[in-house]
Amino acid sequence: MAPPSNATLPPRDLALIAVVVLAWGSNFSAMRLALDALPPLLFVALRFAILLPLLALFPRRPAPWAALAGVALLINCGQFGFLFSAIELGLSAGMASLLIQMQAPMTIVLAALVYGETVSLRQALGLALALAGLAWIAIGETGAVPGIGLALVLIAALSWAGGNLILRRLPGVAMLPLFAWASLLAWPPMLVLSLIVEDPSALSTIAAMGARDWAAVIYVAILSTVVGYALWGSLLARHPAVRITPFALLIPVVGIVTAAIVLGERPGPAELAGGAIILAGIAICVDPRSANVASTQEN
8 Å CB contact between 87 and 149: yes
Query: 180, 202, 165: which is closest to 294 by C-alpha?
Result: 165
Backbone angles phi, psi at 292, to 5 degrees: -80, 120
H-helix or E-strand spanning residue 95: helix 93-99
Q: Label residue 26 exposed, middle or buried (CB < 10 Å: 0-12, 13-18, 19+).
A: buried
pLDDT of residue 194 exceeding 50: yes
User: What percent of the chain has a predicted confidence (pLDDT) above 90?
Assistant: 62
Residues in the chain: 299
pLDDT band for 1, please (50, 70, 90 cuts). Answer: very low
CA–CA gap between residue 225 and residue 221 (Å, rounded): 6
CA–CA gap between residue 247 and residue 218 (Å, rounded): 25
Q: How far is CA 3 from CA 77, 102, 278, in A?
A: 31, 18, 16
pLDDT band for 292, please (50, 70, 90 cuts). Answer: very low
Question: 144 vs 261, which has greater pLDDT?
Answer: 261
Interval 62-82 mean pLDDT? 95
User: What percent of the chain has a predicted confidence (pLDDT) above 70?
Assistant: 92
pLDDT in tens, 108-148: 999 999 989 888 899 999 999 999 999 988 887 656 678 89
Nearest 10 degrees: Cα torsion 53, 56, 58, 59: 130
> How many of the other CB atoms lie within 10 Å of CB of 173?
14
pLDDT of residue 240 exceeding 70: yes
Alpha helices (runs of H) in 100-120, residue ranges in sequence order: 103-115
H-helix or E-strand spanning residue 281: helix 269-286
Contacts of 7 (CB under 8 A, 6+ apart): none
Query: b/e per residue, 179-210, with b = 16+ CB within 10 A?
Result: bbbbbbbbbebbbebbbeebeeebbebbeebe
Contacts of 227 (CB under 8 A, 6+ apart): 19, 20, 23
| SS3 state of residue 77 | helix
pLDDT band for 253, please (50, 70, 90 cuts). Answer: very high
pLDDT of residue 289: 65
8 Å CB contact between 194 and 80: no
100-27-210 Cα angle (round to 5): 130
Q: Is the dihedral of CA 257, 263, 268, 270 positive or negative?
A: negative
- Stretch among 51-60, 99-108, 126-135, 279-288 having the lowest mean pLDDT: 279-288
8 Å CB contact between 46 and 213: no
| SS3 state of residue 191 | helix
8 Å CB contact between 106 and 293: no
